[in-house]
Chain A
Amino acid sequence: MPPLTAPTAPHDLENQIRGFLAAHDPHTTARLDFLRARFDAGLAWLHYPPGLGGQSLPRGLQPAAERAFAEAGAPDNDPRRIGIGLGMAAPTILAYGTDEQKQRWLRPLWCGEEVWCQLFSEPGAGSDLAALATRAVRDSGDWVVNGQKVWTSMAHEARWAILVARTDPDVPKHQGLTYFVLDMTTPGVEVRPLRQLTGEAEFNEVFLTDVRIPDAHRLGAVGDGWRVAQTTLMNERVAIGGGATPREGGMIGMLAETWRTRPEVRDPASHDRLMQLWVAGEAARLTGQRLSAQLAAGQPGPEGSAAKYAFATLNQQVSGLELDLLGEEGLRYDDWTMRRPDTVDFVGRSPGYRYLRSKGNSIEGGTSEILLNIIAERVLGLPGEIRADKDVPWKDLPR
């Protein structure tokens, strides 16, 4: 294992973890009990506030803490299973939730007791999320929701969803949105599998028919849904593209392993290509690490888009080269069976799977084109495209 270059934990954090492990032997404590206790001790996500699983410490300390727990043989919260909760729902709840909402949702989210999904995209509103048509209408203390969502990863596993719906069609599209948390067990929620090109069905269509959401499950103000959703999206991009990984931690590691262990695949032209991608991987990794250090305080900005863009591009190039190197083996696939996976797995399984799954990386969480627009317009300040739809009431938009 190459060394982690993240800052090492300060002495007292190390002591805390050691003390915690002494009091909760990972080998004899039940997994869920262990995770709950870790959350309650403020050793879950260190940068979260006290009482909500953290200690308001810098994010950069997290990898060292994870390493300490892993070395002690402690169970983890299976982050690949609950990525949407950890990466998207949680930071949004933290930023906009009431105390009561934070208390209710964050602990079972982090412990993996409750899986979350993201009900944003619709058939007519993908890149142009603000154009979405799912309606939420107030009915005394509840909201009644009708509409269709699509490409919803893990909806079949989820207990909760973050949902953006239109509460006011008479104002321009960005202004009439409101953000909710939906209990996926509510009557009127129907989840149907959508098979993807890898063979399995990791995502879904979700039909919402007269679904009742209590007003207490609204996140942020009525009509403020776009701003709340931005928090989710910015965090999504950081969650996908940022974060601290060890050297060769991503897909490049698998390619490097193939190269090292299989001399027969080597040739000089591919070697140069491999090294270009290795450098690109290292550059992306360090940029991601730098980004998470900058994030110590506050919410991620448009820079997260760069990390996610780089991640998608690199994964596609690396997995493409892996197949090229394998030649005959690359002609073979592992399994087309239609499954319902319980994790989002970017790198697992076979080289062919990696090649195909990585095609989604430049679509999910904002397409690469949209991310480049964000960088051009919000980072560089370049003028935007002419947008005829911005100031028109949503109900008057042509569709």
Chain B
Amino acid sequence: MSDELLYSEPEEDLRAAVADLLATRAPWSAVLARTGTSEPYDADLWKALGAGIGAAGLVVPESLGGAGASLREAAVVAEELGKAVAPVPFLGNLTATALLLALRESGAGDAADEHLRRIATGEQTAAVAIPFSTPPDWTTIGSLSVTPWPPSAEVHEARLTGRVTSVADALPADVLVVPADGSIYVVPASEARREPVTSLDMTRVLCDIEFDDTPAELLTIGYEPLRLALLAAAAVLASEQLGLAERCLDLTVEYVKTRRQFGRAVGSYQGLKHRLAQLWVQIAQARAVARHAASATGDEQAIAVAVAQAHCSTVAVQAAEECVQMHGGIGFTWEHPAHLYLKRAKSASLALGGPSRHRRRLAELVNLPPSAPTR
């Protein structure tokens, strides 16, 4: 079973294809230049990645026109996207896909299939309308109200009202999968009002979504599929964080080898050298836990994902912070890519729960209670 921690040959091929595309279409200078524009997401790049390479329908079953891959392949794509901080809605689309797949298992049938088919061809991009900070073990029901109430499996038409804030990857989406008041609906994105948010992460711009008696279609009653989707998203995010950390380490190592002060490469000073070596150790561990999280199933998945999020979030932030610090003044400027990574890393560490929340969840899962039981 330890092979699951390695990369398979097809995975390496997929990685190479994505890396090639990103190297030509999303060098950091282009990513930076886009941040100031009214098009924070790169639609052409997403087309080439999603429809061209097939990343959009990666985990959609072959019977519905997808590649029928697992989260492991999705995680490899995410690694490369993390390295490039590429502005494409891969993670959001994947989360929505995982949600539709989970719905399918729970018997939501045709409606979900139709959406999955269109995702697989790249005809439509989907996002889940939920704050990006939402953890997988989310328990509240959200901020939207639904009519008619209560929902019934016979009546599929509903109307949603209310506001969801800080949603990731919804700006370029065509369709929104919307958790509302304990059930899951689908809404054409054009029916809701989406307002871009000035986001800490300039390469994954969030939006606030306003529903105002907006027509929606009921997919299923209950939130269990949402939990599974967020767990999948958190697993894949860990790999994105791994990729980001790797790139930060690479950039930094390269810089400290060539930057000279006091007549020596600054990388020759132990004060830097040991920290970079430690970072390498942390990243090697991040790779193992991220691989495990992308592979694990059943009861182990929740544990593996909590471990991966708790570890990889922290490592990515540390790598980006070290990248800024070890570049000195140049690392503090807009014209150097370090800040793109710093902003992505810090934001990602607040996404899908954050490390502290995942540690708390883990404590429950592995039976390490925080305090003595009350009698």
Contacts and interface: CB of A to CB of B under 8 A. Distances in A.
B342 A331 contact: no
Contacts of A316: 321
Contact of B329 (A126, A333, A397): A126
Contacts of A320: 317, 346
A363 B322 CA distance: 12
A356 B131 CA distance: 23
A385 B262 CA distance: 10
Given A331-B200, A331-B201, A194 B328 contact: no
Interface stretch (A16-24, A179-187, A321-329): A321-329
B328 A196 contact: no
A331 B350 CA distance: 7
A229 to B, nearest CB: 16
Contacts of B354: 324, 327
Nearest to A397: B263
A131 interface: yes
Contacts of A194: 333, 335
A324 B350 contact: yes
Interface string B28-53: 00000001100000000000000000
Interface in A115-156: 121, 125-128, 131, 150-151
B271 interface: yes
A245 interface: no
Contacts, number: 130
Interface stretch (A74-82, A103-111, A264-272): A264-272
A330 B200 contact: yes
Interface stretch (A33-41, A49-57, A365-373): A365-373
Given A127-B328, A397-B263, 8 more contacts: A150-B329, A269-B356, A323-B350, A330-B350, A355-B346, A363-B325, A363-B331, A385-B264
A324 B356 contact: yes
B128 interface: no
B133 interface: yes
B332 interface: yes
A332 B370 contact: no
A195 B198 contact: no
Contacts of A335: 198
Interface string B313-354: 000010001001100110111110011001100110111001
A331 B339 contact: no
A60 interface: no
5 contacts: A151-B329, A194-B333, A330-B347, A333-B199, A364-B329
A359 B325 contact: yes
B261 interface: yes
A362 B266 CA distance: 16
Contacts of B272: 369
Interface string A256-283: 0000000000011110000000000000
B359 interface: yes
Contact of A331 (B260, B335, B351, B370): B351
Interface string B212-245: 0000000000000000000000000000000000
Nearest to A328: B133
Given A128-B261, A270-B356, A327 B333 contact: no
Contacts of A267: 356, 360
B199 A331 contact: yes
B165 interface: yes
Contact of B263 (A126, A199, A362, A387): A387
Given A331-B199, A363-B325, A368-B325, A127 B261 contact: yes
Nearest to B134: A328
A323 B346 contact: yes
A8 B206 CA distance: 52
Contacts of B261: 125-128, 131
B71 to A, nearest CB: 24
A331 B354 CA distance: 12
A352 to B, nearest CB: 5
Nearest to B335: A195
Contacts of B90: none
B185 interface: no
A308 to B, nearest CB: 15
Interface string A327-360: 1101111111000000000000000100110011
B332 A359 contact: yes
B197 A385 contact: no
Interface in B263-281: 263-264, 266, 269, 271-272
Contacts of B360: 267, 269
A364 B200 CA distance: 23
Nearest to A330: B350
A269 B359 contact: yes
B211 interface: no
B269 A369 contact: yes
Contact of B332 (A327, A363, A372): A363
A127 B262 contact: yes
B331 A398 contact: no
Can you list the 3 inter-chain pairs with the closest CB atoms, starting with the nearest?
A389-B263, A197-B339, A195-B334
Contacts of B317: 320
Contacts of B202: 336
B166 interface: yes
A197 B166 contact: no
Contacts of A332: 166, 197-200, 206
A126 B197 CA distance: 37
B333 A328 contact: no
Interface string A296-328: 000000000000000000001000100110111
A151 B328 CA distance: 10
B112 to A, nearest CB: 28
